[in-house]
Structure formats: C-alpha cells, structure tokens
C-alpha cells in the first residue's frame, strides 16, 4: 500500500518537475523503464506469494538497470547497441509477461 | 543479481528447494524463472531467523519506499522525455514543411516574373524589328523557351500500381515513348505540363518520375505538337508505342492516345547560365556573328515560315 503511494508520489514528482534528461542518457532510458516494469511486477508477484523482500526488490531493480545499461553501452561501443537493447527488452519482456501471468493466476485463480 | 549464498547454507538450501539453484539451460530458465530467485532465498532466510528487530523492519520499509519512488520517478521522466522528443520532431518537421512551401512560393513568384520579363523582352525585340533578332526567336523556339500552341497528340498514361510503390512503368519506358514521339515528328513535347527542352532528362528517383528534375505525379499526360496527319500514324509504329500497348495488356497500365486539334504547351524553364559569359564588346559591335550562328544553327524547316511572334501563331507549321 505504501509502495503504491510512493510510486504515485514518484510519478507526480517526475511529471511536475519534468527534469531534462541529458542526451547521453537517452538510449538507456527505455531500458531502465523496462527494467523498472520488470522490478514492479516481480515485486508484486513476490508480495502475492509472500516472499517479498524490500532489499531484494531494490537491489535487483538497481542491478538490472545497471547491467542492462552496461550491456547496451558495450553494444553501442561495439556497433551492436540496438541489437543488444532488443535482447535486453526481449529478456525483460519475457519476465514481465511471466510475472504478469503469475499475478493473474494468483488473483483470478485462472 | 542472484548472488550465491556462502558454502554450507547453499548446500542446505539446494537440498530443500531442489532444482531452482541448479544452473538450468538458458532458454528453460528464461521461460520458467520469471521471479528473481533472490526473493525465495530471502524468504528462506527469514523463516530461519524469524525474530527480526524493528530496525531491520524499518530499514526494509525505507528500502521499499525509496525503490518505488525511484521507479515512479523513472517512469514519469521517461514519459515526459518521450513526449518532449516527439514534440521536437513534429516541430522540426513542420518547420521544414514551411521552408519548402515558402521556397516553392518564392520559386513561383520568380517564375512568373521571368515569364513577364520574357514577354517584355519579346515585345521590345519585336519593336526593334526583324533581321538578326528573328533568329533569336527561332533559337528560343528550338530550345522550348517559348510557349507554343498547335495540333497534336495527347497521351493519357496511368500506372495503377505506381501509388503502391511497384509500378510497371519505369523512367526508361517513358524515355522510349517520348523518343518515339520525337522520331514521329513531334516538334514540342510536354509531360504533365513540364515542357521538354534540349537538355531535359526523364529520370526516376525511388518511385517518382522526374522530368527536368521536377517530380511528375501519376496519372501523367504527355502532349506532343506535330503534324496531325502523320504524327499519330508514325507514332503507332514506334517501339515506345508497342511497349506501352503490351503494358496495357500485361500490367493494366492505362494508355490512351488521342489526337487533339489545339494543344497549348508552356515554355520550359530557362537554362541557368551561371558560368558562361559573353564578351560584351564583340557581340554588340559585330552583329554578323550572331546572324551566322542563327543561320547555321537553324535546321528546323519551320523557321522560314514562322513569324517572329511565335507565341501567338504557334510553332507547329505543317511542313512535313
């Protein structure tokens, strides 16, 4: 519950202050968004299965963002940046779908 | 991300949680392990050590709030960023479109002033009298610099597939068609209002046909002024005509040739002379050079019969 409130407050702060994103950060923003969605759905599923742990939640989120950004950064330097960001999106997307399906099964029992 | 717990506990855990900690094949784990294994392990640690101090509780609550706050912030920033970027792209596009329209209007104004000045020039020339100046009109006529009228053919051409990007008609087909018209005796040819001059090219850039570097849209109309009694007859036996009749049957290209009694073709765009210069003194003091040039360079038989005011009488004087 507090987590939802904090999420809403974060969104509100972001919308109201609308900070400008530096150009070099541009390519990593979509990756970070996908990693964030993955973390949120993973945390929700863990909560529903009663294994939630805040530290794991935060650390896995931060580490996922960093690793994804690192992969994309390396790819950019090697000329395969867009392919690697596709790979990151695919992997995280599969996890998002799997977690969403688990949450659905948990809530609707179907 | 999934750091291994230290030795003895790892053995104990892998004993009761089973295959989760055995390194599984990549695709299998991708398809099955959606939840971060860290959650399960943290829960196991908690069950082993149920007496947690309030400090750890508060700390984990703080972790949770900070994490969700950051995630919310991230989502909002990404949203704002995407919206700002798309607005910028739209703005740039609109600016470019404005630039293009302004340049086109500018070009239209300049073109109209060119034709106005040309009219003035021609009337001044007519006032100055014939002689060498008649040769100038003939030369202009040859290079399609005068608007002309006369009888001839109108060819309506439409490629229904061209809009979808896989048209059957290519630039070289239209080149062949126009060459057929010339060889059939056409004296002036215009494609969709773009008059062909001596240096005009018919080219293709992507799906668009460019005539004299101006894009021509489907359906196109090719108008040719020439002797009405022989133009169509001779045109029918050219390879261009044959190619387009087979296009009509094979690809459904619309190809209609009609004899028209009165065609009006515009003047071609004037040649941009940017680098050539004329030595002013010699041409002014020695008009005979100009006369010799005109007399040698006018093999078109219409010259002798055409009056100086070619625009009103029309160029197509039947001399075949």
Strand order in the sheet with B214-216: B202-205, B208-211, B214-216
Q: Name the residue of chain B whose CA is nearest to A19's CA.
A: B77
Q: What is the dihedral of CA B228, B232, B234, B238, to 10 degrees?
A: 150
Distance separating alpha carbons of residues A22 and B274, to the nearest angstrom: 47
pLDDT at B297: 40
pLDDT tens-digit series, residues B146-193: 788 888 888 888 887 777 767 778 888 888 888 988 888 888 888 888
pLDDT at B289 over 70: no
**SS3 at position B262:** strand
CA distance A108 to chain B (A): 19
pLDDT at B103: 93
Distance separating alpha carbons of residues B275 and A65, to the nearest angstrom: 61
Distance separating alpha carbons of residues B233 and B223, to the nearest angstrom: 16
For residue A95, which residues of chain B lie inside 8 Å, CB to CB? 34
Q: Does B236 touch chain A (CB under 8 A)?
A: no
B interface mutation test: which of A48, A60, A88 has the most B CBs within 10 A?
A60
Instruction: Compute chain A's Rg from CA coordinates.
Output: 16
ipTM of the complex: 0.83
Among B76, B71, B224, B41, smallest CA distance to A4 is for B71
Task: Yes or no: say if A39 and A61 are a contact pair by the CB < 8 Å rule.
Answer: yes
B interface mutation test: which of A20, A48, A54 has the most B CBs within 10 A?
A54
For residue A102, which residues of chain B lie inside 8 Å, CB to CB? 34-35
Q: Does B30 touch chain A (CB under 8 A)?
A: yes
Answer yes or no: do A19 and B30 touch at CB < 8 A: no
Distance separating alpha carbons of residues B111 and B269, to the nearest angstrom: 8
Q: Does B31 touch chain A (CB under 8 A)?
A: yes
Q: Does B48 touch chain A (CB under 8 A)?
A: no
Distance separating alpha carbons of residues B223 and B156, to the nearest angstrom: 9
pLDDT tens-digit series, residues A1-41: 677 888 888 888 888 887 777 778 877 888 888 888 888 88
Closest CB to A58: pick one of B43, B63, B78. B63
> What distances in angstroms separate CA B319 from CA B61, B138, B155, B197, B235, one per listed residue?
100, 16, 23, 21, 17
B interface mutation test: which of A29, A33, A44, A95 has the most B CBs within 10 A?
A33
Among B94, B76, B75, smallest CA distance to B86 is for B94
Q: Considering chain B, what is the average pLDDT of its residues?
A: 75
Answer yes or no: do B72 and A49 touch at CB < 8 A: no
Q: Return the residue matching tokens 């794991």.
A: A56
pLDDT tens-digit series, residues B191-228: 888 888 888 888 888 778 888 888 888 888 889 898 87
Q: Return the residue matching tokens 């439409």.
A: B158
CA distance A88 to chain B (A): 12
For residue A29, which residues of chain B lie inside 8 Å, CB to CB? 77-78, 81
pLDDT at B131: 67
pLDDT at B98: 94
Q: Name the residue of chain A whose CA is nearest to B32's CA.
A: A98
pLDDT at B311 over 80: no
pLDDT tens-digit series, residues A38-59: 888 888 888 888 888 888 888 8
A77, containing H or E segment:
helix A54-78
pLDDT at B23: 60
CA distance B41 to chain A (A): 9
Closest CB to A36: pick one of B59, B65, B71. B71
pLDDT tens-digit series, residues A73-105: 888 889 888 888 888 888 888 888 888 888 888
Within 10 Å of residue B171's Cβ, how many Cβ atoms?
A: 16
pLDDT more than 90, % of chain B: 4
pLDDT at B48 over 80: no
Tokens for A53, please give them.
């742990």
pLDDT at B56 over 70: yes
Distance separating alpha carbons of residues A71 and A89, to the nearest angstrom: 11
pLDDT at B14: 42
């Amino acid at each position: 519950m507090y987590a939802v409130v904090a999420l809403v407050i974060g969104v509100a702060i972001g919308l109201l202050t609308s900070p400008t994103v530096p150009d070099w950060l541009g390519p990593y923003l979509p990756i970070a968004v996908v990693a964030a969605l993955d973390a949120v759905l993973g945390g929700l599923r863990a909560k529903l299965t009663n294994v939630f742990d805040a530290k794991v939640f935060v650390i896995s989120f931060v580490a996922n963002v960093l690793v994804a950004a690192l992969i994309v950064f390396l790819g950019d330097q090697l000329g395969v940046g867009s392919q690697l960001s596709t790979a990151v999106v695919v992997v995280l997307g599969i996890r998002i779908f799997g977690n969403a399906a688990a949450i659905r099964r948990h809530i609707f029992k179907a | 991300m999934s750091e291994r717990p230290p030795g003895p506990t790892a053995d104990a855990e892998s004993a009761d949680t089973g295959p989760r900690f055995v390194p599984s094949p990549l695709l299998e784990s991708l398809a099955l392990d959606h939840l971060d294994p860290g959650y399960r392990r943290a829960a196991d640690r908690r069950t082993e050590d149920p007496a947690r101090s309030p400090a750890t509780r508060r700390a984990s609550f703080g972790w949770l709030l900070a994490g969700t706050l950051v995630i919310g912030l991230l989502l909002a920033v990404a949203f704002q960023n995407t919206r700002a970027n798309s607005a910028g792209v739209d703005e740039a596009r609109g600016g470019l479109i404005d630039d293009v329209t302004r340049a086109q209007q500018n070009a239209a104004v300049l073109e109209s002033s060119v034709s106005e000045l040309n009219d003035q020039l021609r009337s001044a020339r007519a006032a100055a009298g014939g002689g060498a100046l008649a040769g100038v009109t003939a030369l202009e006529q040859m290079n399609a610099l005068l608007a002309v009228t006369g009888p001839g053919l109108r060819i309506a051409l439409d490629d229904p597939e061209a809009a979808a990007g896989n048209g059957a008609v290519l630039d070289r087909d239209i080149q062949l068609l126009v060459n057929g018209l010339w060889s059939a005796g056409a004296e002036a040819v215009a494609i969709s209002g773009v008059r062909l001059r001596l240096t005009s090219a018919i080219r293709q850039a992507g799906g668009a046909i460019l005539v004299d570097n101006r894009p021509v849209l489907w359906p196109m109309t090719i108008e040719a002024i020439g002797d009405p009694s022989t133009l169509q007859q001779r045109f029918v036996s050219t390879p261009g005509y044959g190619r387009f009749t087979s296009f009509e049957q094979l690809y459904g290209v619309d190809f209609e040739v009609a004899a028209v009694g009165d065609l009006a073709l515009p003047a071609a765009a004037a040649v941009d002379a940017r680098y050539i210069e004329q030595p002013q003194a010699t041409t002014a003091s020695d008009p005979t050079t100009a006369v010799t040039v005109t007399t040698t360079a006018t093999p078109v038989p219409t010259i002798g019969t055409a009056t100086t005011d070619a625009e009103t009488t029309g160029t197509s004087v039947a001399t075949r």
